[in-house]
Chains A and B, each alone.
Chain A
Amino acid sequence: MKPVHYYRCLRGIVWREALRFINQRGRFLAALVRPLVWLLIFATGFRFVLGVSIIPPYQTYIPYQVYIAPGLLGMILMFQGMQSSLSMVWDRETGSMRTLLVSPLPRWYLLTSKLIAAVIVSVLQAYVFLAIGYFWGIHPPHRGYFTVLPALILSGMMLSSLGLFLSSVIRQLENFAGVMNFVIFPMFFASSALYPLWTVRQANERLYYVCKANPFTDAVELIRFALYGKFNLEAFAVVGGALLIFMTLAILGYDPGRGLIARRGGNE
């Protein structure tokens, strides 16, 4: 297998993911409506309840919807990441995972390609959200639209690799509801997506440390800073580290010699 084979394979996997996404218009709308509901309804209702003081990277007082925009971008990436993991479990149950894994290219490469495809789709969604958000008072500096891209990609990779890892552990599709309850919601609420962490600290010190330890907080902060053209080293390091850990676990999970597939066997 030469590099050109690797390239064609990646292109094919990305192309399939894009086609699937376009063909499922309902999925596209749902993925967009979710953060918009938060932005248009939740943020409007809460703007007078929660006062956000000046905290980096902001230089002035900001309306609440501006504060939660990065958190909602993170939400898009997380849901998309979990959605692609859902499709992996689905793929495995329906067997189309098998067609992927009999490709002669190395398995880690196939999984990484799958991840990249999912991230491309979710980053496109994030930009559509930013475009709509513009009309709702979310006006980051112009260059912020460019500087946020690497942050979206890295955070998207981290959250999708978490999804990929979960998909290697989840045996059946039914268990996915559990993932929603035990992974997505806690990660989202115990983070800086909806409220700055200093407000959490005032309310409950222990919860503050939970939020601090949550890599989703770092993903949100990485995006928040990048959207204003700034680089948050701590957030970058945590997101990068979490990506490496989740990806390693995912590759081990799908390893033919070690993973759960090997221990439990196929469906006899």
Chain B
Amino acid sequence: MLDVKADAASRQAVGSPDGEAQPLVVEGLSHTFGERHALRNVSFQVNRGERTMLLGLNGAGKTTLFSLITRLYNHRSGSIRIFGWEIKHKPSEALARLGVVFQLPTLDLELSVAQNLYYHAALHGLPRSEAGARLRREIERVGLTDRLREHARTLSGGQRRRVEIARALIHRPKLLLLDEPTVGLDVASRQFLLDHVRMLAREEGLAVLWATHLIDEVDADARVIVLHQGRILAEGPVPEVIRRANATSMREAFDNLIGERSE
């Protein structure tokens, strides 16, 4: 009962679910595995039409944070709300509004590209006819229409990633999560992904949370969250974070922030 009340109260605080609610609000999130603190009191939000880059070294807690937001397992303290829906109490409403590209490749290599996309649409309960129209549109936008009938195994790493982005958008989420999506990709594929996601945020108002350990991927018109050893060291528009860290570039700002922490 308490949970329900708390949930209702927390929803009121950010408006009714959907409506005016923020795409993603994380508040006071902590998580431990045994003795190890993976996340400590993490709070941030992701806004409509904005790209938020979650920057951190390996082991900073990015994957734990993504696992909690996608509800691979539950958080124990704090809250995660997707368009006002607390993921722990209303997982169905929250997950329906969420698109995810995981760090590991997750295409089924035994199936064709189209079959992979249909499978995803079915998992979201979409009828086959509607799924067909949507997946053709998404696959066209990533320039792979002619590969639709081919086995996923025949695609290159970069092409597989593009299919995964198309797949993540089939159920028309308003919030897109990407967990180090460019790892292992060549320069051209990486640039394509960055441009495509920038376009999605700008033209379709998609809210994006993009985890990375590559400082080059954090461009000036994005927001950035610097995560280190499970804590947020800085958050805000990139130019502001650079200024506050008394730096001239994001790389320098990052080094300064991490350095202060280690001293």
Contacts and interface: CB of A to CB of B under 8 A. Distances in A.
A100 B64 contact: no
A17 to B, nearest CB: 10
Contacts of B115: 16, 19
**Contact-size category for B:** 35 or more
Nearest to A94: B104
Interface string B108-148: 10110001001111111111100000000000000000000
Nearest to A93: B104
Interface stretch (B92-100, B190-198, B205-213, B232-240): B92-100
Contacts of B96: 1, 104
A262 interface: yes
B43 interface: no
B123 A103 contact: yes
B119 A16 contact: yes
A195 B112 CA distance: 45
Given A1-B92, A16-B119, A256-B71, A95 B104 contact: yes
Contact of A12 (B91, B104, B119): B119
Nearest to A97: B106
Given A104-B91, A106-B92, A256-B74, A96 B38 contact: no
A6 interface: yes
B102 A98 contact: yes
A99 B123 contact: yes
Given A103-B95, A104-B91, A256-B71, A20 B125 contact: no
Given A16-B111, A98-B106, A104 B73 contact: no
Contacts of B110: 19-20, 23-24
B105 interface: yes
B118 A12 contact: yes
B70 A12 contact: no
A262 B104 contact: no
A138 interface: no
Given A23-B111, A265-B33, A268-B63, A95 B92 contact: no
Contacts, number: 120
A1 B128 CA distance: 16
A265 B64 contact: yes
Interface centre among A1, A263, A268 (most CB of B within 10 A): A268
B256 interface: no
A107 to B, nearest CB: 8
A64 B163 CA distance: 54
A5 B72 contact: no
A15 interface: yes
A180 interface: no
Interface in B57-87: 59, 63-64, 67, 70-74
B104 A102 contact: no
Nearest to B69: A102
Contacts of A5: 124-125
Contacts of B38: 265, 268
12 contacts: A11-B122, A12-B118, A16-B108, A19-B111, A98-B102, A99-B120, A99-B123, A106-B92, A262-B73, A266-B64, A268-B38, A268-B64
Given A99-B120, A105-B92, 11 more contacts: A13-B122, A19-B115, A95-B102, A102-B95, A103-B123, A104-B93, A257-B88, A261-B72, A264-B33, A265-B67, A268-B38
The 8 closest A-B pairs by CB, nearest first: A12-B122, A5-B125, A95-B104, A262-B73, A103-B123, A104-B96, A95-B106, A104-B95
Interface of A: 1-2, 4-6, 8-9, 11-13, 15-16, 19-20, 23-24, 94-96, 98-106, 110, 256-257, 259, 261-268
